[in-house]
Amino acid sequence: MEQFSFIASMPDKPGALHRAAEIITRYEGNINRIQYDRRIDRNTVFFEVRATSQAYEKIHEELERIGYLQTSLQPVAFLKFNVYLPNCPGALFDFLNHTTSSGANITYLDFDDRGQHPERLVVSLNIENADLIDTLLNQLKSKYRLEIVEYDTRGEELDDTVFYLRLAQKLRYYLGNAEDAFLMKFLHDINHIAQELSNLRKDPVEVFENILKVGDTLSQTSGEGFYADVQRVRVKDGIELFCFQLPCGGNIYLFDSPDERAMIDTGYGIYQPDVVNMLQHYGLGDLSLLKRIYITHADADHCGAAGFYSAPSYLNRETLKITRETSRAYGSSIQGCILEEVYTKMINLFSRFTPPSNVVLFPDISFQGKETEKRGVFPVLARFRIGDMNFEVLQGLGGHMHGGIFYLCPEEGLFFPQDAVINFRSLSPERTEYNILADYLMTSVNVDSSLAKEERNALLSLIQEIDSELVKMGKKCLVCCGHGSISVLENGKLVEYSGSERYYARKPL
């Protein structure tokens, strides 16, 4: 028995669903999941079925034979126009002959001979074969007076009688020239998110809107829409630290020293060309000097551009596994959660996830067979140098994501706790709005919320310990958060360390 998924497009009439279920049952298929919501789309049903491959072929053939199987997602055009009909018996009937022969689906008609425009009929059509629109319009123009109100071939104006076709056409914008089979599988996946969140009393239409907002925001903030907030910190003579807050997702940190440059996290893949241009703007564009990339964890907004760089990426074995898996929840207590799995697929597609390929793994402490050195509660996995600065690699507890690690330079007071510690008050309203989308679609960005709280408290305690050592030198620990500004801890709260400047790919008018 194997698991198969398909989308059924069925007539909105009694017994249609029963007929499909009868076919599946006849070939001993077991329905694992079904989702139908007339409020969203009255003709579309999502199925997951377990069956033998031979049985599924028979199910597929029968459903296709009776016209129930959605086998493609052809673009549907929307046309709205005013047509002026003669005031005589049969006028509407004659007009409808033309629309029916074109294969158009009428979604709206408005006519009243006692209204302000007694001869005007307002018509809205969905037409699957957009090539037939010109033929239809030419036929109608030869016989009637016409006024075109709207004409849309991208699906922006389609009404909700074809909700999933409209959604698919919008998704094509983010996914490029995706094949129908791929797009239908992706629709199936994000429908599963809607089903899960509907069970948590969230509006399914709002779920789809938020999925599209993720794609819209990434698209609109790349290319000419790209910008970043930039902090520059002179760490010591000859070494400068740059913090680049990208429009969406995690920060990029870059150390500039006389002999080399090193990066901590890479941002989304979709931003990589923009980041290279930005580095050029700050005199950091020679990528041959970028010798190493250090990854904190496997989320797309932290390692999703690593594969574009030739420099090796340093990370641990568990993080590497997650970049090869289909779910960011891999290895955590919620492994198998459908929300995490589908969100991972979605964000990886939308953000052009290109994980590290040139990899150097940190030692795996589970195989060391000796007592592990710790910094606070966090095991020390390894050490490395940037310039003359010594860094420790600390193994996290896995609250935000399994396998997450932190980087610490205790002598200089530089700490990179990734998303386990964030100065939320330093986030711009736009970044906060984007981050809320992930929280909405997964219910939490942490794979283990209680462990994340424990981890954050342990990290704050460690920062306080470092501060107590640095106070002798009149310094404080710089907390280089996964999102937001470089900050310092004052009276238990994170406070922005220094001001930032705004970089624009294209200067606003």
Per-residue pLDDT tens for 36-68? 988 888 889 999 999 999 999 999 999 999 989
| pLDDT value, residue 367 | 54
Environment class of 336 (CB within 10 Å of its CB; exposed 0-12, middle 13-18, buried 19+): exposed
pLDDT score, position 34: 94
| Strands lying side by side in the sheet with 378-386 | 374-375, 378-386, 389-395, 405-409, 414-416, 478-480, 486-490, 493-496
The pLDDT of residue 89 is above 70:
yes
Contacts of 441 (CB under 8 A, 6+ apart): 193, 197, 207, 210, 211, 214, 339, 343, 346
Q: What is the CA radius of gyration of the chain?
A: 28
Q: What are phi and psi of 118, to 5 degrees?
A: -65, -15
Report the alpha-carbon distance of residue 162 to residue 125 in Å, rounded.
Answer: 11
pLDDT band at 393 (very low <50, low <70, confident <90, very high): very high
C-alpha–C-alpha distance, residues 394 and 403, integer Å: 11
**pLDDT value of residue 74:** 65
* CA distance linking residue 182 with residue 170, whole number of Å: 15
Does the pLDDT at position 86 exceed 90? no
**pLDDT at 144 exceeding the cut of 70:** yes
User: Model-level pTM?
Assistant: 0.83
165 has a pLDDT exceeding 90: no
What is the tens place of the pLDDT at every residue in 305-352?
A: 999 999 999 999 999 999 998 899 999 999 999 999 999 999 999 999
What's the CA gap between 211 and 207, in Å, rounded?
A: 6
Average pLDDT, the chain: 91
Reported as type and span, the H/E element at residue 78 is strand 77-84
Distance between CA atoms of 393 and 447, rounded to whole angstroms?
21
Mean pLDDT on 109-133: 79
Q: How confident is the model at residue 158 (pLDDT cuts 50, 70, 90)?
A: very low
pLDDT at position 155 = 53
Q: What is the pLDDT of residues 216-260, one digit of tens each?
A: 999 999 999 999 999 999 999 999 999 999 999 999 999 999 889
Cβ count near 455 (within 10 Å): 24
Which tens digits make up the pLDDT trace of 400-435? 999 999 999 999 999 999 999 999 999 999 999 999
Percent of the chain with pLDDT over 90: 69
Whether 159 has a pLDDT exceeding 60, the answer reads no
Sorted by where each starts, the structural domains of the chain and their CATH numbers stand as 2-65 (3.30.70.260), 77-152 (3.30.70.260), 171-220 (no CATH), 227-504 (3.60.15.10)
Q: What is the pLDDT of residues 315-325, one digit of tens each?
A: 999 999 999 98
Alpha helices in 102-241 (DSSP H): 132-141, 163-175, 180-199, 204-220
Query: Taking 80 as the threshold, does the pLDDT of residue 368 lie above it?
Result: no
pLDDT of residue 164: 80
pLDDT of residue 130: 67
